[in-house]
Chain A
Amino acid sequence: MLALSDLQKQLLNDFQRDFPLTPRPYETIAAQLGVSEKDVLSALEALHQAQCISRIGAVIPPNKIGVSTLAAMSVPDDALVRVAMQINQYAEVNHNYEREHAVNLWFVLIAKDAAHLDCVIALIENETGYRVLRFPLVKEFFIDLSFRLDLTHDR
């Protein structure tokens, strides 16, 4: 387990949004934190290696670009990994989780339009042999605000 440096904690908590749109964004962050660009890059590299961050990236609201849906399947335990890997192969799938429930595989699909989404779901159902339940967003009350991490306690 990575022991987090102060710099890494700052990077995790203070840069979840408003990432600098400057030619050298890591240098911009470094200047704010009083360190070098190289320090920022190596801290982020270490966080990435340790799986503390998934990426420096963009969060896209559902259905603003293209069409998305939450989807779920009930898959027997002994087939779950196989089915999860089959689903993961589709570029349209960006999240895929096992949850402790009879409806145990939950994933998010994003497609250019409704026809594309239907097509991918049909392909997944055909390939896996399990039915896909669809739960498209009706209304968002709160979405993906950066989450203040308490990084002080024991893991």
Chain B
Amino acid sequence: MIDEKDYQLLAQIADGLPLCSHPYAVIGKKIGLSEAQIIERLTMLQKNGNIKRLGVIVKHATLGYRANAMVVWRIPEENVEIVAQAMLQFSFVTLCYQRPMLPEWPYNLYCMIHGKNKETVQCQLAQLIEVCGLAVVDKQILFSSRCFKQRGAVYTANGTKK
């Protein structure tokens, strides 16, 4: 279980670890914990799977990966697992999730494809469709255009504006 101090710690690092010699000490000072306690808590949060990874979070777009498409598919429930596993053999598929269908959005499998440009992503998608046998599956392709926000999760009281 995570406690109030863990929430405070996650909130403190939502915008990133400070770039200084003792970043954990700096964070600890803000929430009344020692450097060693911060390190211990981050170790536990990772060990318990509450933090999936800790490290450099890159901005793909600036690094030449200008295009990313979210592709959503309508897959029969019983085939979702098999199709998802087939998609994951491709390294360009960076995320794959099942989500609920809505009447106005009847798609349940979401995958993300990153590439250096739109053409690359379209080629990768064509390859994915061929190898996974998805030619007749209903889908939508949503290329991202503008990023309005990208940061870590923050935990706050209801409807808090920054």
Contacts and interface: CB of A to CB of B under 8 A. Distances in A.
Interface of A: 11-12, 15-19, 21-27, 37, 41, 44-45, 48, 50-61, 64-66, 68, 70, 72, 84-85, 87-101, 103, 106-107, 110-112, 116, 119-120, 123, 133, 135-151, 153-155
The 4 closest A-B pairs by CB, nearest first: A55-B16, A99-B142, A96-B149, A17-B53
The A interface, classified by DSSP as helix, strand, loop or mixed, is mixed
Contacts of B96: 140-142
Contacts of A65: 2, 7, 10, 50, 153, 155
B32 interface: no
Which range contains the number of B residues in contact with the other chain? 35 or more
B162 A12 contact: no
B152 to A, nearest CB: 5
Interface of B: 2, 7, 10, 13-17, 19-25, 35-36, 39, 42-43, 45, 49-60, 62-65, 70, 80-81, 84-85, 87-88, 91, 93-100, 102, 104-105, 108, 110, 114, 116, 140, 142-156, 158-162
A33 B6 CA distance: 31
Q: Interface SS of chain B: helix, strand, loop or mixed?
A: mixed
Given A17-B55, A123-B159, A149-B58, A100 B151 contact: no
Nearest to B93: A142
Given A16-B56, A151-B63, A23 B22 contact: yes
Nearest to B114: A147
Given A27-B21, A57-B13, A94-B152, A64 B58 contact: no
